[in-house]
Amino acid sequence: MPRIAEIVRKTKETDIRIKLNLDGKGTANLVYPIGFMAHMLNTFARHGLFDLEITASGDLEVDQHHLVEDTGIVLGQCFARALGEKRGIRRNGSCLFPMDETLARAAVDISGRPFLFFAASLSGTPLIAAENDAGPTAAQWSGAFQTDTIEDFWQGFTGAAGCNLHLEILRGRSDHHKIEALFKAAARSLRSAAEIDERAQDLIPSTKGSLDTLTIA
């Protein structure tokens, strides 16, 4: 059976639709108003070999926080739904990913118990991008990306996906490189954890016989 999920989440703050294929080829079709985050989501799809479709909008006149965090929540919900009862998956995965001067480490356990450890050593200084002609909403945020929202994204993801995820930067200088290396490491870890183990295709990888997911709304 194809492991595909599609979820629409609409609140007074954001409107997000995500479709995820866990067994894809890494293609991404994104309509996303924050350029740097769109770059990270495209990177996530490519390195995880996940097919990803996202259409999103939000109250960027307030802050980037709501849209970035809610994107993590909906993407995590898609993972949980696509995995189903998690029969046959490898369950855990890890990756050590170098990107120029930066070295990132990720480890994940799709356990049903949400937990995030996040140590990215980010400076807190917004990432600056050039102005563009993409329209008033995009132009409003084309000048800066709020790097502190990255932890909010992964917090939303782990809670909704029901996974234990550890993300850390071992060394690095550039915040761009740190964030991107973490997305690549997380994607490859999740890809490995979600893959079907040919030796245990009919088994749920738990001595309890269940990997129920606790999700957040």
pLDDT tens-digit profile of 90-131? 999 999 999 999 999 999 999 999 999 999 999 988 898 655
Q: Give the DSSP per-residue string, 175-192.
A: HHHHHHHHHHHHHHHHHH
167 within domain boundaries:
yes
216 within domain boundaries:
no
Length of the chain: 217
User: For 7-35, how does the pLDDT look when each residue is reduced to its tens digit (9 = 90+)?
Assistant: 999 999 999 999 999 999 999 999 999 99
Q: Cβ neighbours of residue 11 under 8 Å, at least 6 residues apart? A: 70
137 within domain boundaries:
yes
195 within domain boundaries:
yes
pTM attached to this predicted model: 0.89
The number of angstroms, rounded, from the C-alpha of 53 to the middle of its chain's C-alpha atoms is 13
The CA–CA distances, whole Å, from 131 to 37, 135, 142 equal 16, 11, 6
Structural tokens at position 41: 């989501």
186 within domain boundaries:
yes
Helix axes 35-48, 175-194, angle to 10 degrees: 40
Structural tokens at position 12: 């007074």
| Total domain count, the chain | 1
Quote the CA–CA distance of 124 and 128 in Å, as a whole number.
Answer: 12
209 within domain boundaries:
no
Q: What range defines the domain where residue 77 resides?
A: 4-200
Structural tokens at position 138: 């995009």
Which domain CATH number covers 165?
Answer: 3.30.230.40
Which residues sit opposite 205 in a β-bridge? none
